[in-house]
Amino acid sequence: MSTKIHIAVDAQGQPVELRLGPGQESDVMRGEELLASHEPQFVIADKGYDSDKLIEVIVEHGAKAVIPPRSNRNYQRRYSKRRYKQRNLVERFINRLKHYRRIATRYEKTARNFLTFVNLAATLVSLGVTVNTT
Does residue 134 lie within any of the structural domains?
A: no
CA distances from 99 to 10, 72, 75, 102, 125 (A): 21, 35, 40, 9, 10
Give residue 55's pLDDT: 92
Q: How many domains does the chain have?
A: 1
Q: In the predicted model, what is the mean pLDDT of the chain?
A: 90
Quick: pLDDT tens for 31-62: 899 888 888 999 999 998 999 999 999 999 99
Quick: pLDDT tens for 67-86: 999 988 888 889 999 999 99
Does residue 133 lie within any of the structural domains?
A: no
CA distances from 16 to 51, 65, 71, 78 (A): 22, 18, 30, 27
Does residue 45 lie within any of the structural domains?
A: yes
Domain that residue 108 falls in: 3-124
Does residue 78 lie within any of the structural domains?
A: yes
- The CATH number of whichever domain residue 79 belongs to comes to 3.30.420
Does residue 19 lie within any of the structural domains?
A: yes
